[in-house]
Structure 1
Amino acid sequence: MIGLVVFGAMFYSLFRYRHSKGAKAAHFHEHTSVEVLWTAIPILILVGMAVPATATLKNMYDSSDAELDVMITGQQWRWRYEYLGEDVAFTSNMSTPRTQISGEETRGEHYLLEVDEPLVLPINRKVRFLMTSDDVIHSWWVPDLAVKQDTIPGFINENWVKINEPGIYRGQCAELCGINHGFMPVVVHAVEEEEFAGWLAERKEAAEQEAMGLTVSGQWMS
């Protein structure tokens, strides 16, 4: 709208008051009222835009009051997810067959964007991401969730998401991180709260059984 008004006035003036029609330029200066007006109006416009923009930015980066915390760790070339306080953690690797990558088999619908262990999240719950890396800089990016955050060794970055609709959301590493950068997809499986609670309980039980198996094995070995 600003562009239309400004350029519209400019081209109208160029056409209406052109020299070939005998128009003569007016000479005036030091018009205090006009100077105050063309200074005050832009200031008011900018302030009017800054207030809602600042509030929106604050809300975008405010990860407080989260109902679930997930640690995301970038690794060459996979992602590790840990549900903090839940004793559930796993590594997510790309599952696209090598035969598709080498061209020996027809590429699937989600070529290079499928994993063996997706990140499972509940809908309608604010989830905070704590992001870091074990080696080089990666970038966890899921376009449909509007989340793109670098994972940096030695630092923890924060981001958050609240998913409204169940479904599968796909993304990938968006930072050139090494030779297999293109084979580092992200898959988020958003489910209903009840389904998430059941899944989390199953993963906890599996983790406990695995821990008990390791303990018994360790005792036997000793």
Structure 2
Amino acid sequence: MVEAEIPADHPRHDSLVTRHRVEAGVEKGITSRQGLIAQGRGEAFDYLLGERTIPSADAAARAAAAHLLLADHPVVSVNGNAAALVPAELVALADAVGADLEVNLFNRTEERMRAIAEHLRDHGATGVKGLAADARIPNLAHERAKVDADGIADADVVLVPLEDGDRAAALSDLGKVEIVIDLNPMSRSARVADVPVVDNILRAIPNITTHARELADADRPTLERIVGEFDPEATLAAAERAIRDG
């Protein structure tokens, strides 16, 4: 079955679409095989959340949009799974908030970097960062430390979907506002984030974009109020309750 053949009303629609896109990403050289394992782990949490955007995740998406609109230099970090799952949606979000897109990989090869950048361009991106890799995030020994000096290194707000915990912590240590999309509210990535969005990336990225468009004409005090009222600890607690209560 190809993605187009999956009925929209299928009870496992999002799960089947996600599996198909990650598998196709591996075939295209965009997603690593380890990405399949990571996707399976996330899917288990999504199942426990009822495969829906819970209210706390929607509030987090709104706060994320406000942060991105307030930023001087927002950047959306893109790894293999994110590129395979929501390429056009990432481009739309970047356009809505004036953000750069930057490819960043744990299993980094020049071939994969170029393939993902081209994949994003095929879905409407006009500029993709990450290939220069002329700066490093301190205290990281692996390939995800490599970033662009005029991209993530210079950003004040970074959206990091499906992030590694150690890099999330390192970005937080640099004082950057960090928005994390992670289906596990107990992960280190979610717990170090200024805005943890506990939701499936298929829902979360379009939801943040929708909020950004709705807030596009809001004045700065309004955006600052949304940011100031957001409570990351309460958001994580609400997600954990939803998982435990079923």
User: Is the TM-score greater than 0.5?
Assistant: no
TM-score bracket, normalised by the shorter chain, equals: under 0.3
If you compute each CA radius of gyration, which structure gives the higher value, 1 or 2?
1
- Normalised TM-score (structure 1): 0.25
Give the structure with the larger helix fraction.
Answer: 2
Q: Greater relative contact order: 1 or 2 (C-alpha under 8 angstroms, separation 6 or more)? A: 2
- Normalised TM-score (structure 2): 0.24
